[in-house]
Amino acid sequence: MKRMLTIASLLIAAVAVPHAASAQAAVDLPIHRGKFWFHSDCITAGQQGIDRGHWSHYQCAEGWMWNLWTDR
């Protein structure tokens, strides 16, 4: 019984994670800033833009390459 409760709690946690990610994706990011070969390069560029005050939110979307989208 204890094992079943542990498995159930893991399943609930796994279902909750995509919901939180979709709430974050609801931010409107209309400006495409560039394409990057590596995810780490995209993340670095996005964070540098926040640090410099150029934008407040960014997202690295996977496609043929990693695309950096920002809010302003």
pLDDT digits 0-9 by tens, 6-59: 444 544 444 443 433 444 555 789 999 999 999 999 999 999 999 999 999 999
- Does 68 score more than 70 pLDDT? yes
Whether the predicted model's global pTM rises above the 0.85 cut: no
Name the residue among 37, 32, 38 with its Cα closest to residue 59: 32
Q: Please count the structural domains in the chain.
A: 1
pLDDT of residue 27: 75
pLDDT of residue 26: 59
Using the structure block, give the residue that is written with the tokens 């019984």: 1
pLDDT of residue 35: 97
Q: What letter would DSSP give residue 53? A: T
Expressed as residue numbers, the domain containing 39 is 2-70
pLDDT of residue 25: 55
